[in-house]
C-alpha cells in the first residue's frame, strides 16, 4: 500500500521518514519529494509498505504526530489514473 506523508519539515530527511515507518513494519520504498530547482524538500513523501496491515497501522500510529516540530499527516495515496 502506498502512503502519502504531508506537512513534513523541510529539514526532515528521507532516511528519517524511512526509519519512522520501518518502526511500524516493512518498507518497500520511500521517496522524499525534492524541488528540482532548489534541491530542497517539498515537505511531503511517499512510502510504500508491502503489507496492508502494516500500512494501516502506520496511518493510525503516525498520522497527526510531531516529526521535527511539524505535525505530519499520513494517509493512503490516491492512485494516478493510467
Domains and CATH numbers, the chain: 2-65 (3.30.70.330)
For the chain, the residue count is 82
- The crossing angle, in degrees rounded to 10, of helices 14-22 and 52-62 is 110
Q: Give the chain's mean pLDDT.
A: 95
- CA 8, 69, 49: angle at the middle one, nearest 5? 40
| DSSP H or E run through 67 | strand 66-67
Per-residue pLDDT reduced to its tens digit, 32-60:
999 999 999 999 999 999 999 999 999 99
Tell me, yes or no, if the pTM score tops 0.75. Answer: yes
Amino acid at each position: 500500500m502506498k502512503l502519502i506523508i504531508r506537512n513534513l519539515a523541510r529539514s526532515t530527511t528521507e532516511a528519517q521518514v524511512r526509519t519512522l515507518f520501518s518502526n511500524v513494519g516493512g518498507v518497500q520504498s520511500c521517496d522524499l519529494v525534492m524541488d528540482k530547482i532548489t534541491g530542497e524538500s517539498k515537505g511531503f513523501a511517499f512510502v510504500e509498505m508491502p503489507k496492508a496491515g502494516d500500512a494501516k497501522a502506520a496511518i493510525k500510529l503516525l498520522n497527526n504526530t510531531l516529526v521535527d516540530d511539524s505535525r505530519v499527516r499520513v494517509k493512503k495515496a490516491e492512485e494516478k489514473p493510467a
